[in-house]
Structure 1
Amino acid sequence: MKRGISFEIPNEYGSILGEVLKPLEVHKYIWRSGGEESYIVEDDELGEPLFTNEINCMDGLFLKELLEDNEYYLIFVDLKAYSKGKNQEDIETYEDFLNSDCELVLLVVDSIYATIYCKEREQLERLYDNAQIKGFDNLQYITENNDTRTRLSVW
């Protein structure tokens, strides 16, 4: 059974998360962020944090504009998508994910290692196809046989 996908993104400034999430209707979700380390690029230098330093939930339209309309540099990212009106509790394991209202988890570690867990099969296929079209390196499906992650967190 496919749990998600993993791949490597370029280690550079850009709007890469906007590209990664392009197949999704980002605006339809509430997104929970743990305030991990990423920065908006201002005048070709790292500026303000892309996300606040605290755990917060943001409207999908806000996140979509943030990710598509800015240039930024990713170091660590932990985003979780919930349908509007659903419980936005934090999850720590894949089993928590399956038993929660969380629909998608996006993790970026060390600027290049991206992982997406997704409950909806068609969305997962679209995300995989998009990553393939974008030419992201080392793209593969995550299955119960190759999933080495013990926590759905970047820490």
Structure 2
Amino acid sequence: MRGISFEIPNAYGKYLLELLDGLDITEWTWKIGDGESYVIQRDALGKPLFSNDCLLDGDELRRIISMDDYYLIFVDLKAFSKTSSVRDITTYQEFMESDCQFVILIVDCSYVTIYAKDQHIVQHLLLKAIANGYENIEYVTDENDGRTTLIAF
């Protein structure tokens, strides 16, 4: 089992906060890849939610995803332990050979794929997806994973 996939509503909200609720995201360093997500200001797209290709500590990520509603178009988040070396991860093989612990990819506002090395995290995220009423929830396995890269944009 590589991870899970599901669909979130194509709407603004705090979906990253919902997904990561119950995980201690402060224990990781987060690599933010190229993407496109915006803070909602006066019911319109405002400033970018993240700077592209940057690193955030877990406290800063929690602050960003907790403050305002946002609209997620393309998201590429990769979690590394704080003591590990952070590097670009573009394939599943690189993910497995790296210190990266899990990957969150969102494509076209709704399609979420999460890869995790820790099966407890996979189970936790699966239960969160079910509890939040997300659709088309399924495990990502060696047999059904059609992704060729682990990037969103």
Q: TM-score range by the shorter chain?
A: over 0.9
Per-residue displacement from partner, 1:77-104 (whole Å, max 9, x unpaired)? 0000000020101111111000000000
Among all aligned residue pairs of Structure 1 and Structure 2, give the percentage whose two residues are the same amino acid: 46
Q: In structure 2, what is the Cα distance between the partners aligned to 1:23 and 1:109?
A: 23
Residues 1:66 and 2:64 aligned together: yes
Query: What is the number of equivalent residue pairs in this alignment?
Result: 153
Runs of at least 5 residues in structure 1 that lack an aligned partner in the other structure: none
Q: Contact 1:35–1:51 (CA<8 Å) still a contact in 2?
A: no
Superposition RMSD in Å: 0.8
Task: Describe the shift of the 1:127–1:17 C-alpha distance in structure 2 as closer, same or farther (beyond 3 A).
Answer: same
* Aligned-residue offset at 1:7: 0.2
- Structure 2 residue identity aligned to 1:34: G
Q: In structure 1, what is the Cα distance between the partners aligned to 2:140 and 2:110?
A: 17
What does 1:53-92 correspond to in 2, within 5 Å?
53=52, 55-92=53-90
Provide the residue aligned with 1:22 in structure 2: 21
Runs of at least 5 residues in structure 2 that lack an aligned partner in the other structure: none
Q: Contact 1:20–1:130 (CA<8 Å) still a contact in 2?
A: yes
The normalised TM-score by structure 1 is 0.96
* Aligned-residue offset at 1:123: 1.1
Provide the residue aligned with 1:10 in structure 2: 9
Q: In structure 2, what is the Cα distance between the partners aligned to 1:131 and 1:31?
A: 21
Q: Contact 2:38–2:46 (CA<8 Å) still a contact in 1?
A: yes
* Aligned-residue offset at 1:30: 0.4
The normalised TM-score by structure 2 is 0.97
